[in-house]
Structure 1
């Protein structure tokens, strides 16, 4: 939870999800099981590892959703870098809707 909080407050959640190894493995395994054609069996022992990765992803998403609901970050102005190496100013990153705002309230 502490790591997710630091990542969120620094505005690096999208980078975390992009570069986290377990997220990439899960995306590949989900795409492999959804692909039509002959079923490719995963190597022995991977089921437990994939379940642990799914549990960690659910926990991370829950922590990020709680933080977005309680401490929404303002839209940030950032500077991106062009392929030529020059800066591209005033790129705006929009905040996304929190899961707590979408879910029905009791």
Structure 2
């Protein structure tokens, strides 16, 4: 299970259609995750992009939601310095819930 779609891997789901040994050994993939976990996964990728490659900021629904959500999460005390991703998720969850589906 993966949390959020990553544009870098767009189209990889077609690799098993090559058939043969590739199809036989290809791992089963599920995702993106629904609900808050999926939003959080997209948010993490969005924040990474803003910090490391701002010229590549995406477009579409996920980028729009994340561009509105990111500043609100960054303002949560402890979010940026959270020691674990689980702690960051817990801190961001109220903001994700406020953003709605």
TM-score over 0.5 (shorter chain): no
Higher helix share: 2
Instruction: Name the one with the larger strand percent.
Output: 1
Q: TM-score, normalising length from structure 2?
A: 0.28
